[in-house]
Amino acid sequence: MKFSAIQPFTVLDYPGKAACIAFTPGCNFRCGYCHNPEFVLPDRVKLLEPDFIDEETVIGFLERRKGLLDGIVVTGGEPTLHRGLPDFLRRVKSLGFLVKLDTNGSLPQVVGKLFDENLLDYVAMDVKTSLEQYPGLVGPCIQPKAIQDSIDLIRDHAPDYEFRTTLLREVHGLPVLKDMIGLVARAKRYVLQPFRSAVTLDPNFGSYSAPDASEMELIIDLFRPHVGELILR
Average pLDDT rounded to a whole number, residues 180-199: 95
Average pLDDT rounded to a whole number, residues 148-154: 98
The number of distinct structural domains making up the chain is 1
Range of the domain at 139: 2-232
> What is the pTM (predicted TM-score) of this model?
0.97
Tell whether the model's pLDDT for residue 58 goes beyond 90: yes
CA distance 49 to 155: 35
Question: Tell me, what CATH number does 191's domain have?
Answer: 3.20.20.70
What confidence tier does 198 reach under pLDDT thresholds 50, 70, 90? confident
pLDDT, tens digit, for every residue of 111-132?
999 999 999 999 999 999 999 9
Average pLDDT rounded to a whole number, residues 74-91: 97
